[in-house]
DNA sequence: GTAGTTGCAAAGGATTTGCATTAAG
DNA sequence: CTTAATGCAAATCCTTTGCAACTAC
């Protein structure tokens, strides 16, 4: 399964006549096997044992390449940098506005929204990115928030909280 | 209508005991009356006649404040900086991957996705942000692309184009 | 062999911060 | 008055770039 995704993505590189370097294979493998929505820095640190001379610039370049190919998508969670996620199956994300945690959600399918958006806007639609914001279960407990009205008590930098 | 939105947003500042300074009023008015999805730099330049001593830092601070209050949302379009949009009525955006243009779409309502995401993830959901990617009508013409299969001919940095 | 990639360091650019000054309530 | 907000400049941090050395094909 993860193997398939990896093989398929490498084939995609070959189709585009993009060289399959060890760096690209290792970063790709990392992304296929980790669902932790890593930042560039996280990927860089996690791979330093496997690739001692790996350059941050290479991580940046490689991720940009993967994003352009549609293999990987970019995410923001309110922290400083950009996070990345292998996009083998369409899904979207729920982001915790308190701790920045990102959770995958595979339902419902939002392709109908793409169709509708194309009709209304006249764009030739190629994809989408959905982010839902909220408080993750852990932060709800930690903050003593269990219903929407509790949010008003908080002086957090929570967006969308009226 | 635009007046209402402005009054309502200013009331929101007062409710939060946030001072209603001329800078905040002018930036808010700008956002309520412009649907051009401006960057910080654009806002800064457009307001320099009205507020000769306006500081870029104030624009940044003010926008961050408005985002935290949920009055305004942030958008990325692939260009360098962040863009902003007054969020008086829920809507989402279609972004051109070639020229960066951003178009508002007010249908369909996606609140049901929030509900579903909350059920699945256990988050207390407060909002969402949907971005649909594609080629705007102008860029379709300019590039001679009229159907999805034409995208394969392009060597552009288009994400999601396989 | 040769064009595309890498690693490194330096450069670039968006955003934030510190602090004295100003002004909202 | 009191405290938050502003403006300015410097600082910070993420990301990109230039270029010589290297390597996938």
Instruction: Give, in Å, how far the C1' of C2 lies from the CA of B101.
Output: 39
Is residue A153's pLDDT more than 70?
A: no
**Cα–Cα distance between B162 and B149 in angstroms, integer?**
10
User: Considering only CA atoms, which residue is closest to the C1' of nucleotide C6?
Assistant: A58
| A4-18 mean pLDDT | 96
Nearest to A126 among B116, B117, B151 (CB): B151
Residues 73-92, chain A: which have Cβ within 8 Å of B? 73, 76, 92
User: For the range B147-154, what are the long-range contacts, defined as Cβ-Cβ under 8 Å and sequence gap of 24 or more?
Assistant: B147/A124, B148/A124, B148/A126, B151/A124, B151/A126
CA distance B121 to B115: 10
Residue B160 has pLDDT above 60, yes or no: no
pLDDT at B152: 58
- Judge contact between A125 and A135, C-beta under 8 A: no
What does pLDDT average to over chain B?
Answer: 91
Residues 24-63 of B with CB under 8 A from A: none
The topology (CATH level 3) of A1-88 is Arc Repressor Mutant, subunit A (1.10.10)
Which residues are in reach of strand C, CB within 7 A? Answer: A 18-19, 21, 23-24, 51, 53-58, 61-62; B 14, 19-22, 39-41, 56-57, 60-61, 64, 80-82
Tell me B156's DSSP state: S
**Looking at residues B6-33, what average pLDDT do you find?**
97
CATH topology identical between A1-88 and A90-162: no
- Residue B22, nucleotide of least CA–C1' distance: C24
Distance spanning both ends of chain B, measured CA to CA = 43
- Residues B63-77 pLDDT 10s: 999 999 999 999 999
Q: For residues B127, B101, B161 and B146, what is the CA-based torsion angle, rounded to 10 degrees? A: 120
Whole-model pTM?
0.91
In chain A, where the domains are located: 1-88, 90-162
pLDDT > 50? residue B159: no
Looking at the predicted structure, is the pLDDT value of residue A34 above 80? yes
* pLDDT tier at B145, thresholds 50, 70, 90: confident
Q: Quick check: B47 pLDDT over 90?
A: yes
> Which residues in chain A have Cβ-Cβ distances shorter than 8 Å to B136?
121-123
Can you name the CATH fold of B90-162? Answer: Dna Ligase; domain 1 (3.30.1490)
Task: Look up residue A148 and give its DSSP letter.
Answer: G
């Amino acid at each position: 399964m993860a193997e398939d995704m990896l093989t398929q993505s490498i084939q995609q590189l070959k189709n585009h006549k993009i060289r399959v370097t060890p760096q690209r294979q290792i970063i790709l493998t990392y992304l296929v096997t980790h669902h932790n929505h890593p930042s560039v820095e996280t990927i860089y640190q996690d791979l330093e044992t496997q690739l001692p001379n790996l350059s941050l610039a290479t991580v940046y370049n490689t991720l940009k390449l993967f994003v352009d190919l549609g293999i990987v998508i970019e995410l923001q969670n309110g922290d400083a940098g950009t996070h990345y996620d292998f996009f083998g199956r369409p899904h979207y994300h729920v982001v915790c506005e308190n701790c920045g945690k990102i959770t995958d959600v595979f339902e419902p399918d939002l392709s109908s929204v793409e169709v509708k958006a194309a009709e209304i806007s006249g764009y030739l639609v190629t994809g989408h990115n959905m982010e839902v914001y909220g408080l993750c279960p852990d932060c709800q407990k930690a903050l003593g928030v269990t219903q929407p009205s509790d949010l008003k008590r908080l002086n957090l930098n929570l967006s969308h909280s009226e």
